[in-house]
Amino acid sequence: MSAENRVLAVSGTVVLPTAADTERFGRDLARGLAPGDLIILDGPLGAGKTALTKGIAAGLGVQGRVTSPTFVIAREHRPGVRPGGGTPVGMVHVDAYRLGGSGPHALDELDALDLDTDLAEAVVVVEWGEGIVEQLADRHLRVRLSREPESDVRTAEWEWIS
């Protein structure tokens, strides 16, 4: 099965030898994304969550430089020209690490971000969002990233969850 077909499948696993491969995987994922899609990225520090998000942004053709939103919690990227044509799609990139865990405080902070409104018009990518943001959409794409110790080799496991 080609890399493109694996990405469009409901679930799968891929080994990503370099950060550039991680970004390329994100671009491939973006081909099948549309407004309303929620992507939850999970993995330890340095696993490639932001690199994957950069690839998703490039695949969507959004405007602006993609950097980790750790200190601002959420960054909005406006639609640009989508590679290969298609309807332009914006992206909201969220870092849920600082949202106060998975308790009621995190839900209040999440509600204040108004991400459910953003989902109507954009793809929402949430780093560290597992256990916090799933209720924002009827289905979401969970991508778990891991990184080999002392190496740039990453593994991505993805699954659409309803």
pLDDT at 122 over 60: yes
Task: Decide if pLDDT at 131 tops 90.
Answer: no
The pLDDT tens digits of the residues spanning 69-93 come to 766 677 888 998 898 888 889 999 9
Q: Residue 143 in contact with residue 156, Cβ under 8 Å?
A: yes
Predicted pLDDT at 1: 33
Residue 72 to residue 77: CA distance in whole angstroms: 14
Residue 153 is predicted with a pLDDT of 94
pLDDT for 2: 36
What is the per-residue pLDDT for 50?
Answer: 92
Find, among 95, 113, 78, the residue nearest to 41 by Cα.
95
**Chain mean pLDDT for the chain:** 83
pLDDT tier, 119 (very low <50, low <70, confident <90, very high otherwise): low
pLDDT at 66 over 60: yes
